[in-house]
Chain A
Amino acid sequence: MRNVFKTAIIGTLALAGVGVGGLMAANAAGGSSDYKMKHMHWHFDGWRGTYDRAAMQRGYQVYREVCASCHQLKYVAFRHLGDKGGPYYDDHYPNPNDNPYVKAFAADWTVEEVDLDTGDIIERPAIPADMFPPIYPNAAAAAASNGGAVPPDLSVMVKARTGGADYVYNVLTSYDKDDNYMNKAMGIKIAMANPLSDGLVEYADTEYTDKDGKVHIIKAPEATVDQMAKDVTEFLAWAADPKMEQRKSLGLATMLYLLILTILLWFSYKAVWRNVEH
């Protein structure tokens, strides 16, 4: 009996192993040239990984000041920035619509709306409930402004490319020195010119007051291409999977519970079958 059980486990694992192996083979296809993808250690890696809040906040700044001139985040709302697990979450504002950072960031954008008196399209500052607004009125306009290529939406970009966060980071940091459009990670010339250059954005120092009322100043890192790429990738990873932290913490509780239940079931099984030859 014990042997059969062992075979069962090994067989199950082998099946799973081949399944995953097949997937990897499927995913490994593509990729090109001699460029070697750089594998990064992300703060959100692993079974207890979380998003690095400071990096996400800097990443939002990079998105706002650089990426947002062409790329939308259409499945993200401003209020999401203040959600639990988001870059600007604050215990004091469980409702992200009240979060002053979120309000200020929203107001920094304009959205279109129909004036109910005249029927005209008017612009107003965004509120936390609004989604990130479109950059171009339509796909044709987006293509026309970008040499025929529509800049893709970034909401789920980190999930939409094999390699995930590593891929996004590598694309942003692998432009050819002599050719602004030659992307080495993708192995082709792309429509997006190298968007980052050292010192492109100005990271501000942040300060926070600790429990004793002491004010600490956290020095901002230097805004190198590498740093900005890392930060914006951290932000986009959150945008693509905003519930990751919740999922992982519930996952831990669930796995522990299931483990205990399974052990109890094992003992119940042993007790029921105690005098039965099989």
Chain B
Amino acid sequence: MSDHTDNSHEHIDEDKRDFIYIATGAAAAVGAGALAWPLVMQMGKAADTLAAGSIEIDLSKISEGQQLKMLWRGKPVFVRHRTPAEISEAESVDIAQLKDPQTDDERLMPTPDGKLDPKYLVMVGVCTHFGCVPVGEQGKVDAQGEYGGWYCPCHGSHYDTSGRIRKGPAPTNLEIPAYTYISDTVIKVG
């Protein structure tokens, strides 16, 4: 290395050199950071994945008491045509006793005339516990859980006829996707 002498000239040079080293290091660090951005972001959703994000469902083809399952963004969407008994059961619950308090109306989207149609319940069919698909097909009473709605066989979560969590480990109600009525009987999910 160089010999260190004590004259002031050398000190000034020392400062200048430190400045160059710091500037170089800083520039390199900025570059590395900028390079990391694309290398990380490439794992995000690709343009085609983002674009293929909506489906249309014709409600009129689902008869009372039946449930339609459609794939949307890689997950099932449940569309349940509820019976009057199921609707009244869903509406009569005292929400104060729920783990995730929500009225049945809050779980519906308005039809084109601005009203709510409680007949059709649209949900993402994924248990909020760890992502299994709950069962709840009409006609298999024991498959609908203790509250007559859906039951997740993975870890035993029970959902009622409005898809609200009533018993078991799931933290929240079944998710309602963003959907709109594009006519009286057709909805668009996504």
**Interface, chain A (partner B; CB < 8 A):** 77, 79, 83, 97, 116-117, 128-129, 257-258, 260-261, 264-265, 267-268, 271, 274-275
Contact = CB atoms under 8 A, between A and B. Distances in A.
Interface stretch (B15-23, B76-84, B156-164, B177-185): B15-23
Q: Which 6 pairs, one residue from A and one from B, show the smallest C-beta to C-beta distance?
A: A129-B51, A275-B2, A264-B24, A271-B17, A268-B24, A261-B27
Interface in B44-96: 47-48, 51-53, 61, 70
B27 A268 contact: no
Contact of A79 (B2, B47, B61): B47
Nearest to B16: A271
B139 interface: no
A110 to B, nearest CB: 16
A129 B28 CA distance: 40
A261 B2 contact: no
B51 A79 contact: yes
Nearest to A268: B24
Nearest to B18: A271
Contacts of A79: 47, 51
Interface string B15-47: 011001101100110110010000000000001
Interface residues of B, number: 21
Contact of A129 (B1, B23, B52): B52
Given A79-B47, A257-B31, A275-B2, A264 B20 contact: yes
Contacts of B28: 261
A264 B27 contact: yes
A268 B21 contact: yes
Contact of A274 (B2, B27, B30, B52): B2
* Interface residues of A, dominant DSSP: helix
Contacts of B61: 117
A267 B22 CA distance: 12
B187 to A, nearest CB: 15
Interface in B126-153: none
Given A117-B61, A261-B27, A271 B20 contact: yes
Contacts of A268: 20-21, 24
A263 B30 CA distance: 15
A81 B24 CA distance: 42
A79 B52 CA distance: 11
Contacts of A258: 31
Nearest to A129: B51
A185 to B, nearest CB: 35
Contacts of B47: 79, 83
Given A264-B24, A267-B24, 19 more contacts: A77-B48, A79-B47, A79-B51, A83-B47, A97-B51, A117-B61, A129-B51, A129-B52, A257-B27, A257-B34, A258-B31, A261-B24, A261-B28, A261-B31, A264-B23, A264-B27, A271-B16, A275-B1, A275-B2
A265 B52 contact: no
Contacts of B23: 264
Contacts of A265: 24
Given A77-B51, A275-B2, A267 B20 contact: yes
Contacts of A116: 70
A264 B29 CA distance: 13
Contacts of B34: 257
Given A264-B23, A264-B27, A128 B17 contact: no
A268 B23 CA distance: 9
Contacts of B48: 77, 129
B179 to A, nearest CB: 17
A237 B16 CA distance: 50
A83 B48 CA distance: 12
21 contacts: A79-B51, A97-B51, A116-B70, A128-B51, A129-B48, A129-B51, A129-B53, A260-B27, A261-B24, A261-B28, A264-B23, A264-B27, A267-B20, A267-B24, A268-B20, A268-B21, A268-B24, A271-B16, A271-B17, A271-B20, A274-B2
